[in-house]
Amino acid sequence: MRLKAALLACALSLGLAAAPAAQETLRIGVEAGPTSLDPHFASLITNIAFARHIFQPLVEQDHQQVLRPAIASAWRIVNDTTWELTLDPNARFSDGTPVTAADIAFTISRAGDVPNSPSSFRYATRPVARVESVDARTIRIVTHQPTPLLLNFLALVMIVPERNREATTSDYNSGRAMLGSGPYRFVAWQPGQPYVMERNPNFAGRAPDFARVEFRPIENAGARVAALRAGDVDLIEIVPPEQMERFRTDPRFAVAESPSNRLIFLTLDSDRENSPFVRARDGGPIANPLRNRDVRRALSIAINREALVTRVLQGQGLPAGDLGPPGYFGTSPDLTPPPYDPEGARRLLAQAGYPQGFSVQINGPNDRYVNDEQVVQAIAQMWTRIGLNVRVETKTRAVWLSEAARLLYSVNLAGFSPNPEVLGMLETQIHSWDPDLGLGTANRGRFSNREIDALIQRARTTMDDEERRRLTQEATRRALRDETALIPLYFQVNTWAMRRGIAYEARTDEMTLAFSARRAQ
């Protein structure tokens, strides 16, 4: 009965307001809608971005991923394992009820344990031992061990009401459980259909400029461009490189762009003795050469990163030699993109025992990253020039994700965004696969080095910023310069285009947020 009453109250608070005038509606063309409205179902950037409209985290990340108040108006470190947060007394769910310590504790207990989650938030909630209520406005979060990135993890976990404890993912997807404290409240959604929301009058923060928002999924980039030019939408994300300059010079439109923290890289199967798509040049079996660090280094310096960015991406990228973009916490100024050196690559291959090269297949998506299939084709051509026999196979996002997770590839084009330090890349992509520790969870090449693991584990429990920075830099240098654990290629540039009269605050985290759009002055 508690659930039914809560869901009925939610539905009444969401559905009775009349639709505002047409000029109050912002229509946004996005590549894809959410896979679920349950804010804890999948830790995917797209899902988190949609959830941020209806719900709020304790603290949130701004457009450059700097922490700022949300439900918590202030916070401090009591000791290495205790964080104290002050709750905003004005924080209200959309039905007008206050957000309480019980809601925080329930959310943290739920977020990492949603049934059938394809991408769990357990990494964010696992460090928490308990949530204590100090008084009506103050909570303490106690962790199992020092966790310097705790608030950054929790910035991705949306707070839901404890009274909806019995709500299932299906209840969220139907709209019945969509009760949050964010700037908007739920109106309507069906998979593949527009996601409609309207201003939450009980939101404690700055009211968004647009009273009503329609997110329209338009998977094809060319179709998104056409929709904006035709006036069917007001704002689009992920603008194709060849269209960006046209929008930039057309007085009817405006653009926004920001360097991304998403690294595009190649994973290499450096673990198995026999890798599925590595063969001798004649097609016969061969011991996996990707286990040899000289081979991995050769493959890296055989890639012309500058050409990838200027020719394939038409300038919408930044060549990479580190795990994070310049200025990101934990990056090293000396880890610059390795120079293109095909002659040096051939020497390294010969030194490793492969003077005639070998056969290899590069896998990747054809609809996930900007010009991803073209990038894979370009790398294949570069590797052919150093004597390799290279095949390419790209697949749609869903198939590619599934097969990569099952370790079906030898070489794979991938992308990842650390949150918000380089340490996030080290923990997920470089550390040995260790499900008990929750580390190496996205290490598809199964690279493993115990000395580097030890550095990462020390860094992730070091509260002192400067010491954590030093440990992070040392681990990254060992992983990239000494071992070529993976091959960094470039950082994407995030892009948006919009009709004149709208301004958008470009974000490093790729999220398209309606409340980041403003009426232009």
Say how far apart CA 234 and CA 230 lie, in whole Å. Answer: 10
User: In this structure, what token pair is assigned to residue 114?
Assistant: 């949603």
pLDDT at 117 > cutoff 50:
yes
E strand or H helix at 487: strand 486-499
Give the pLDDT band of residue 1 (cuts 50, 70, 90): very low
**CATH numbers and ranges of domains, the chain:** 2-217 (3.40.190.10), 261-492 (3.10.105.10)
Residue 23: predicted pLDDT: 58
User: In this structure, what token pair is assigned to residue 23?
Assistant: 């000029």
pLDDT at 280 > cutoff 50:
yes
| Percent of the chain whose pLDDT exceeds 70 | 96
pLDDT at 13 > cutoff 50:
no
- Tens of pLDDT, residue by residue over 332-347, are 999 999 999 999 999 9
The 3 state secondary structure assigned to 361-417 is EEEEECCCCCCHHHHHHHHHHHHHCCCCEEEEEEECHHHHHHHHHCCCCCEEEEEEC
Give the pLDDT band of residue 15 (cuts 50, 70, 90): very low
Residue 8: predicted pLDDT: 39
Residue 44: predicted pLDDT: 87
- Find, among 36, 54, 291, 47, the residue nearest to 172 by Cα: 36
User: In this structure, what token pair is assigned to residue 398?
Assistant: 């869903």
Give the pLDDT band of residue 477 (cuts 50, 70, 90): very high
Tell me what the mean pLDDT of segment 150-165 comes to.
96
Arithmetic mean of pLDDT over the chain: 93
Residues forming beta bridges with residue 428, ordered by sequence position: none
Residue 12: predicted pLDDT: 38
pLDDT at 293 > cutoff 80:
yes
At 222, give phi and psi (nearest 5°). -65, -35
E strand or H helix at 60: strand 59-61
Of residues 123 and 479, the one with the higher pLDDT is 479
Tell me what the mean pLDDT of segment 73-87 comes to.
97
pLDDT at 17 > cutoff 60:
no
- Tens of pLDDT, residue by residue over 27-76, are 999 999 999 999 999 988 899 999 999 999 999 999 988 999 999 999 99
Question: 53 with 506: CB under 8 angstroms?
Answer: no
CA 151 to chain centre: 16
- Tens of pLDDT, residue by residue over 201-219, are 999 999 999 999 999 999 9
pLDDT at 118 > cutoff 50:
yes
Residue 136: predicted pLDDT: 84
pLDDT at 318 > cutoff 90:
yes
